[in-house]
Amino acid sequence: MRRTNILFATAGTILLASCSGWQLAQGDKAYARMAYARASAHYGKALSENVDDRAVLLRAADTERRLRHHAEAADLYGKALKSGPLGAEDAIRYGEVLMALGKRNEASERFMDALALNPERSEVRDLILSCEQDALFLQDSARYVVSALPIDGFTNAFSPIPYADGLVFTGERADATSRSNPWNGNGYLDLFYARKRSFAIWEAAVPLPGDVNGAYHEGPACFSADGRTMFFSRSNYYRSKLLKNEIDESNIKLFRATLDSSGHWGDMHEFAYNSDDYSVGQPAISGDGRVLYFVSDMPGTLGGKDIFRCVNNGTGWGPPENLGPTVNTAGDEMFPTICGDVLYFASTAHMNMGGLDIFSTHAEGAGWSRPENMGYPINSAFDDLGMTLSEDGKHGYFSSDRSGRDRLYQFFVKDPVLFVDGSVFDDTTGTYLPQVEMHLAALDGDTEMTVLTAMDGSFRFPMKAGKRYRLEARMEGRLTESREISTEGSVNGTSFRENIHLITVQLDKPFLVENIYYDYDKWDIRPDAAPELDKLAKLFTDNPRLTFELSAHTDCRGSDLYNLVLSDARANSAVDYLIRMGVDPDRITSKGYGESRPVNGCIDGRPCTEEDYQMNRRTEFKIVKVNELASGR
């Protein structure tokens, strides 16, 4: 009888284990605990029994996404989409997975779905543009030589930091025999050191000596300039017990350790702003040791994870400061590193190739410069993070999972190029203009490139030293604007900033020409007026379809007839100058209006200030005709 009961019990257990409901329940429990490897197994068994519940499909898809199983995640999101439109977050995640698979057109469609549901999501607009402007990320690709570091024996390795004669990095041993990490079923992360012998030869990596590595996760880390103080991330645990808060979460904390005389790391102290309720980690320390950067999801973030900083005030670390919306987004900003005055970080947002991309920024006034995507081959459609650059700017390190797992890479900069960047604005409102066609051409015909401005009106081109370029901004319904840029005599790495304001084409609307002055009772073009007229000549020649009128105006002092004759002479003089500068005489006329068109109340018989008179003494131009071109661009 007892054997019969055991058989029945065993059969019941097998039956229960095969039941899709039981598998789903176990999958949901594992998912809630962020044990994604186990959740994946349970959801897989449940879905194999033809479970097509939409919520289950989405949880299973998110599980595979977190495990970086992109093809599996895309398949599950696709099945969920067939049953109806996705929510904004699921559409974004599906799009990110598709980007990782190189399916950028499909990814763009999912991002547009998300944007339709939430038009305020600026980071989604950037992702759409990212899908449409692949060429933008390839412009600097010839600049870098990238190769995987020959450091073996790790399932995953990332966040390399130069230290002593080698690198300290965060790694997960391939032969780990300790407890497995429930997130992905692999081992836990520790901090390792590998010594570099030569370009291609590295010694076997060893754990950092001392007490920093323990039972759970450690890393990434950063070091003070003298190499004797280390800041590092660590799971929240005591001895071998993982500590959790009231809602059963265990968060990452930031620690400081010091190097003792025997070369071991110890004397560990918690960071003052750690908390059981949110994570603080991934540190980066400035060269002078005064500013500590870190990543957190603490209250005050703009999205999932943001980069913060604390400034040492002499008695300790001041309160955390969010780096603000120029750097941080509604996505995730992570893995900061400091190299000189440049902050490198990884982001899932901004203009992005997919996954986490590496960006650079630097302090600019009270804020930060617009982050610049490092482009291919530093970035890829996968997760790229943890970049450092040598002081001479000629080589560095980063990590990426482009090979299917996190690996360490080194890169060399062949010939640092020069850059021109900037933003395009509406001339009247000052607002950014996206989708402006930007064209850069070397005057010797060597290079020609075209991109569209991003949602924030920004653009960026690489240039070569020793050349002259023409930069042109074109947009239907606006005056084309061009600039000439010379890189002759420029040192490598120089950036040229060109902000452009585009004027809307409106017939008979006058535009003031600034800084055109004449001597008393004269109409000759003074030397200080020539630069402004040179700009105007370029504007006219950039827009061959348009016919312009250039007009001169006087104040009300003197007789009407005298002022009319004087203004007409000044207008003629300015037009003659423009014709000498290459403007087609058939496309420009002159007109003197004397005192007949004041822009204020300063007329005969009324008291006026000198400022009133000056406002009325002016030179203007307006568009009087839009012509059809017989040929040309």
* Mean pLDDT along residues 162-179: 85
* Mean pLDDT along residues 524-530: 80
pTM, rounded to two decimals: 0.64
Tokens 């015909």 — which residue? Answer: 445
* Mean pLDDT along residues 608-621: 87
Stretch among 32-36, 274-278, 416-420, 473-477 having the lowest mean pLDDT: 416-420
pLDDT score, position 78:
94
In this structure, the answer to whether residues 524 and 491 fall within a common structural domain is no
Query: Using N-to-C axis directions, what is the helix angle for 104-117 and 88-100, rounded to 10°?
Result: 170
234: CB partners within 8 A, 6+ apart: 212, 214, 216, 217, 218, 252, 253, 254, 255, 281
Report whether 281 contacts 189 (CB < 8 A).
no
State which of 138, 166, 193 marks the end of a domain.
Answer: 138
Q: What are residue 281's DSSP bridge partners?
A: 295
β-sheet with 218-223: strand ranges across: 218-223, 229-235, 252-259, 265-270
More confident residue, 172 or 176: 172
* Mean pLDDT along residues 24-39: 83
Longest dimension (CA), the chain: 127
- pLDDT tier for residue 19 given thresholds of 50, 70 and 90: low
Report whether 187 contacts 203 (CB < 8 A).
no
* Domain presence at residue 6: no
In this structure, the answer to whether residues 275 and 323 fall within a common structural domain is yes
* Domain presence at residue 180: yes
Q: Is 573 helix (H, G, I), strand (E, B) or coil?
A: helix
> CA 111, CA 124: separation in Å to the nearest integer?
6
Mean pLDDT score of the chain, rounded to an integer?
87
Write out the H or E segment, with its range, that includes residue 62.
Answer: helix 54-66
Query: Tens digit of pLDDT for each residue in 103-121?
Result: 989 999 999 999 999 888 8
* Mean pLDDT along residues 363-369: 89
Q: What are residue 169's DSSP bridge partners?
A: 192
Report whether 419 contacts 492 (CB < 8 A).
no
More confident residue, 311 or 531: 311
* Domain presence at residue 11: no
* Domain presence at residue 577: yes
Tokens 């024996």 — which residue? Answer: 153
* pLDDT reading at 209 higher than 80: yes
* pLDDT reading at 532 higher than 90: no
Query: Tens digit of pLDDT for each residue in 218-265?
Result: 999 999 999 999 999 999 988 888 888 888 888 999 999 999 999 999
Could you tell me the CATH number of the domain that includes residue 50? 1.25.40.10
Could you tell me the CATH number of the domain that includes residue 174? 2.120.10.30
CA 137 → CA 94, 131, 393, 524, distances in Å?
A: 22, 11, 20, 50
* Domain presence at residue 12: no
In this structure, the answer to whether residues 164 and 126 fall within a common structural domain is no
In this structure, the answer to whether residues 211 and 314 fall within a common structural domain is yes
* Mean pLDDT along residues 281-286: 98
CA 146 → CA 395, 399, 408, 444, distances in Å?
A: 10, 11, 11, 31
Residues belonging to the chain: 633
- pLDDT tier for residue 11 given thresholds of 50, 70 and 90: very low
pLDDT score, position 50:
67
Query: Using N-to-C axis directions, what is the helix angle for 54-66 and 70-82, rounded to 10°?
Result: 160
- Residue among 191, 192, 322 nearest 255 (CA): 191
- Residue among 483, 612, 454 nearest 126 (CA): 454
In this structure, the answer to whether residues 495 and 561 fall within a common structural domain is no
Please give the share of the chain, as a percent, with pLDDT higher than 90: 53
**CA dihedral for 13, 17, 21, 25, sign (positive or negative):** positive
Q: What is the 3-state secondary structure (H, E, C) of 469-516?
A: EEEEEECCCECCEEEEEECCCCCCCCEEECCEEECECCECCCEEECCC
Number of domains comprising the chain? 4
Could you tell me the CATH number of the domain that includes residue 474? 2.60.40.1120
More confident residue, 73 or 36: 73
State which of 447, 474, 502 marks the end of a domain.
Answer: 502
Residue 441 DSSP one-character state? E
> CA 97, CA 105: separation in Å to the nearest integer?
12
In this structure, the answer to whether residues 492 and 540 fall within a common structural domain is no
pLDDT score, position 244:
85
**CA dihedral for 393, 394, 399, 401, sign (positive or negative):** positive
Query: Tens digit of pLDDT for each residue in 56-85?
Result: 899 999 999 988 899 999 999 999 999 899
CA 362 → CA 259, 270, 338, distances in Å?
A: 30, 28, 10
More confident residue, 186 or 345: 345
Could you tell me the CATH number of the domain that includes residue 527? 3.30.1330.60
Residue 597 DSSP one-character state? S
State which of 138, 164, 188 marks the end of a domain.
Answer: 138
In this structure, the answer to whether residues 408 and 275 fall within a common structural domain is yes
In this structure, the answer to whether residues 250 and 394 fall within a common structural domain is yes
pLDDT score, position 5:
41
In this structure, the answer to whether residues 204 and 332 fall within a common structural domain is yes
In this structure, the answer to whether residues 279 and 348 fall within a common structural domain is yes
Using alpha carbons only, give the angle 124, 129, 134 rounded to the nearest 5 degrees.
Answer: 130
* Residue ranges making up the domain that contains 287: 145-414
Q: What are residue 389's DSSP bridge partners?
A: 396
* pLDDT reading at 368 higher than 80: yes
* Domain presence at residue 307: yes
β-sheet with 154-163: strand ranges across: 154-163, 166-173, 190-195, 206-207
* Domain presence at residue 9: no
Query: Tens digit of pLDDT for each residue in 117-152?
Result: 988 888 888 888 888 877 778 776 777 899 999 998
In this structure, the answer to whether residues 450 and 526 fall within a common structural domain is no
* Domain presence at residue 631: no
* pLDDT reading at 458 higher than 60: yes
In this structure, the answer to whether residues 99 and 174 fall within a common structural domain is no
